[in-house]
A and B are shown apart, each in its own frame.
Chain A
Amino acid sequence: MPEIPLVSTDAESTDATTTDFDDPVEEAALLASGIELGYGEEIVVDFDDLVIPEGEVTALVGPNGSGKSTLLKGLSAELEPASGSVLLNGRDVQQRPAKDLARELGLLDQENAAPGGLTVEDLATHGRYPHRGFLDPLTEDDREAVERAIDLAGVDHLRDTQLSELSGGQKQLAFVAMTLAQDTDVLLLDEPTTYLDLHHQLRVMEVVRTLNEERDVTVCVVLHDLQQAARFADYLVALDDGAVYDWGPPEDVVTEQLLADVFDVDAAVSFDREDDEPRIVPRRALD
């Protein structure tokens, strides 16, 4: 990746040099630079620069233990980097008050604790948490945002159902509704489809896609299914052992070389003429 000069936490002073992309720093919703992330002494993720472009869907892919989820924790300010910084729209995520950050950055986990007695609508309403003060009741805006979120997540028919009565897929869609009600410009998703059946996997990804297309929300999603990532994302970031192996549009990133180097899989990659989407046919695991 080209060198990107570090920018200060001030959004005005982002005068980056021109590189392969128009202006990666200017276009970046999230920019991680010189980052080292880990737990205690052990550093799991360590690389120079990563740009999550504004208004696009970016997928983080890589094998188990490559640091995808750790990187996401760094991006969401859940984990403080040992060095380097993560800038959200030019401002360091670590420096910002939690509520302030949560109005701009949403996070959806792969699996969520669901208190049984809660209805889907209650859960979606909790998504308004960062927009409400300690004693503020729901405003008209809050109610509208909750309605939009429930509608977009397609859980309208379940709104009065308790979470304990939902299937895993429906539950995840309910949590999607909660995250949507948060009304953020940037959305991080940590393997949102891992425990879901195919139908709900597609439902979740379609909601995310719609959100990106209709409301221009920047999405960064960790996926371990490379094929799914190639289908839904505009950009792929392939991680290998805590470092960025490659970055770019799926048709450039998904190669037989990548599958061999990063995933240790011998596979054939072909391109469908109609949609330019790479097709992966795995053959065998490499030692």
Chain B
Amino acid sequence: MNFGLFAASTNDIHISIAAEPVFYIGGFPITNGLLTGIAGSFLAVLILWFVANRVKRGKYNRFVGLVQWVFEGLLKQIDDVIPDKKLARKITPLAVTIFFVVLINYWLSVLPGLDSIKWNDVPLIRSVTADLNFTLGLAVITIVTVQIYAVKYLGSMGNAKRYLKNPFKDPIGAFEGFLELIGEFSRGTALALRLFGNAFAGEVLLIIIAVLTSYFATVVLPFFMVFELFIGFIQAYVFFILTLIFTSLAVSHHGPDHSDHSPAVSSRKKAAVKG
């Protein structure tokens, strides 16, 4: 199960690529990633619920203002990337939830006790973003949602035509379609692995720095923690914006006879996807 499990006897480093089961409920493994994920998601709901209620009652403070400012920024981004206002509003819950849940869960990895608080010899705290099940799940949700909207906007046949073209009539187009099909899988995989890789590497980095710097960790670690907070924000934003770009690309996929989207915007989006 554990790919890279190793432990140093003196420093007691415990690193595992997979999230480790802390206990089982009826044979179902409750992993440390899942536990932290539940806590992180609960925290995200709590924060958003609190802010929404404060906003509803018109009671603002700096925290409420900050979260609302972020929310407004995300909405603006959604409107900028997705030209169709209706679709933009439909995709908003998914995109915004991805941003906040990924952000908060990623930030949980800087909590003290990352590798030291244990239950049955398993570290209790492990950011759910460093659990491939979660990142893969998010990627699956994103790709499936994109496909659902593509079918809604282009129709089943229209969407299928993006991938399947007659190789005898249009061999280049058929090859492009094939590449597009591979592209869908690679996008999903990249989404999952990018977030997982960053989060996992971040946690490993924090653990290793803590071990290597020993008592100086109290001085050195905060710098790396701040760096991790920054990377967490970047990763949450990247996942959020890629969800929007994939959706936008899927619904604005037209043949050569349609020219209602500016080439500049399309090329920018493609460049962003490649980036």
Do A and B share a complex?
no
Q: Give A contacts to B, CB under 8 Å.
A: none
Chain B residues proximal to chain A, CB less than 8 Å: none
